[in-house]
Amino acid sequence: MRKFLLASVATLGSAGLMSAAYAQAPVAAGPAPTQGQTAWTPAASPPAGANNNNNYQAPALPGPVANPTPGTIVVHVNGKVVVEGLGVWTNADSRFNAAAPVGSVKLQPQSIGSYARLYFGADAMATNGLRYGAAIELRENFTGQVSSNGSSGASGYTSTETMFVRRAFTYVAGDQWGIVRAGQADGLISIFDNGVTTFQFLPSGNLNGGDLQNQPSAVPPAFVFLGQAGNEYGNTKVVYLSPQIAGFDFGLQYAPNTSNGIAVSGSSAGGLASGLAGSGVGTGNGCSVANTGCPSLSSGPGVQDGSRSINQTAVGVRYQGKFGDVGLLAYGVYEFSGHANYTGSVSAATLGTTTVTGSKFNGSYDGLSVGSGGLALTYAGFTVGGNVVGGAMNGQLGLKPKGGANLLGVLAGVKYVAGPFTAGIVAEEFWEQGTVTLSGVTQRRGRAIDAGVSYTVAPGYQVWLEYLWNDQTQNANNFITGAVGSAAGAGANNNIRGQGFIIGNVVNF
């Protein structure tokens, strides 16, 4: 049953930690595995994230990362490289957009993409049996660059690719009392779902910010189902998970706001931030002095200040078990929050509602109040199930404007696994407020369907083929120009849609 707990959990591989010891006489050094002098048998399921079989639940379970024993620590460094060929077409391109003017720009539909990620971790056990550790996930960043007519060389593009921290957390755990994870890491929805009930069965992540969703004009709908979504795990939080009892475990989480407290203070990096603040130079999202745009605001006059959630809290319960040959995963989470108070002007000109007749938007928002649940049944290689989310939320953990529509979304999928072969299909549809200035006027609908197959050629080496279709619709909203209300034009570009395919391969190590 405990092995079932980790179904489809991305885990890390492990590497031995070499230590040096002082001695009276020279000691002959052996080959160092980290220096490429020793060949190792690759893990059957190499890592694909910072979460592993030691840090994702109360007990340490068998898996690719070695379980520490009393008085030992396991240090591991892993990564992945993805290379894929993509073809994407949308109606934002003037070739398919009848409303686009003659001579408008076009995008090349085909491309080849690549990216890298690195995973570092340490899992230890004290002599008294206390487990503890930490994990880091680094990702490759891409910054858009506009080439000049005189220089469009590749070197300029690669120099904008940097690394950034996606996850960074510590944990302490005990089989009898549970696990506490603290830092920039997954909340209850991501942990309980783990991509299973949301059918993230391909290396791309399918509908959850998959590589095919890198489409212009914000064509892809936001992944409102939240499991393994960046807006769900990107802020710093504390999460507690209980031990499993008769297949059930429960959890709690708390986050002060949607940012990292180090950046909020603006006082780290040896006084650099405070020095820059005195000279009027911006310091990222650090706020030495409260101002519009600070991520930790509790009130502010900026038009978007009221949209910031504070004191984000969640409670949930999960069941995992087997009934004969049928495996079952089911969970439910309720998440709620406060919100920053809007103290600015409520004039139509300030709020951007001058062209929206009947808009109820007044600059204020409701706190989060949303329920999320998932169910998956597995039998003879088939997994069927789905996910539902609903309540006061707009987009991916965004706050709903007062007077706006609540969100309701449903997702369903099926996949089949036979040895190295996986095939599946997943579809989603949801309704939400969408553009806040249209509160009380119209609401947005998002839809998508994604299908694909993958094949594990060898340990750590996987290839896949994927197809995606998606669209968004909101009346009185021009997705291409951003205009709303009467300025948007009757029926002009209020539906944005696209489709595409990927042929890709990934090496995990």
**pLDDT tens digit at each of 509 positions of the chain:** 444 334 433 333 333 322 233 233 444 556 666 677 788 888 878 778 899 999 999 999 998 899 999 999 999 999 999 999 999 888 877 645 555 555 566 778 899 999 999 999 999 999 999 999 999 999 998 776 655 555 566 776 777 788 999 999 999 999 999 999 999 999 999 999 999 999 999 999 999 988 888 776 678 999 999 999 999 999 999 999 999 999 999 999 999 999 888 866 544 333 323 222 332 333 444 576 777 878 788 898 988 889 999 999 999 999 999 999 999 999 999 999 999 999 989 898 889 898 899 999 999 999 999 999 999 999 999 999 999 999 999 999 999 999 999 999 999 999 999 999 999 999 999 999 999 999 999 999 999 999 999 999 999 999 999 999 999 999 999 988 889 988 887 677 899 999 999 999 999 99
Provide the CATH topology of domain 2-20+31-259+296-508. Answer: Porin (2.40.160)
127, β-bridge pairs: none
- C-alpha distances in Å from residue 151, one per residue of 146, 147, 494: 10, 6, 37
Q: What local confidence, expressed as pLDDT, does residue 323 receive?
A: 95
The type of residue at 491 is G
Q: What local confidence, expressed as pLDDT, does residue 185 receive?
A: 96
Question: pLDDT tens digits, residue range 400-429?
Answer: 999 999 999 999 999 999 999 999 999 999
- CA nearest to 364, candidates 396, 391, 338, 400: 400
- Other residues' Cβ atoms within 10 Å of the Cβ of residue 122: 18
Q: What local confidence, expressed as pLDDT, does residue 303 receive?
A: 87
Residues 6+ positions from 21 with CB-CB distance below 8 Å: 27
- C-alpha distances in Å from residue 486, one per residue of 312, 356, 439, 473: 36, 6, 15, 16
- CA nearest to 211, candidates 508, 491, 416, 503: 503
From start to end of 142-262, where are the E strands? 162-174, 178-184, 236-241, 248-255
Three-class secondary structure of residue 251 per DSSP: strand
Q: What local confidence, expressed as pLDDT, does residue 492 receive?
A: 73
Q: What local confidence, expressed as pLDDT, does residue 2 receive?
A: 42
DSSP 112-171: EEEEEEEEEEEEEE-TTS-EEEEEEEEEEE----PPBTTB--HHHHHTT-EEEEEEEEEE
Interior angle at CA 462, CA 82 and CA 83, nearest 5: 20
Q: What local confidence, expressed as pLDDT, does residue 155 receive?
A: 72
Question: pLDDT tens digits, residue range 364-391?
Answer: 999 999 999 999 999 999 999 999 999 9
Give the pair of three-digit tokens for residue 147.
């080439």
Can you say whether the dihedral through the CA atoms of 471, 472, 478, 482 is positive or negative? Answer: negative
- C-alpha distances in Å from residue 147, one per residue of 111, 141, 150, 151, 250: 17, 18, 8, 6, 52
Q: What local confidence, expressed as pLDDT, does residue 151 receive?
A: 55
Give the pair of three-digit tokens for residue 55.
């840090």
Can you tell me the distance from the alpha carbon of 344 to that of 255, in angstroms, rounded to the nearest whole number?
26
Interior angle at CA 487, CA 486 and CA 493, nearest 5: 95
Can you tell me the distance from the alpha carbon of 82 to that of 79, in angstroms, rounded to the nearest whole number?
10
Q: Where are the domains of the chain?
A: 2-20+31-259+296-508
- CA nearest to 261, candidates 348, 175, 155, 168: 168
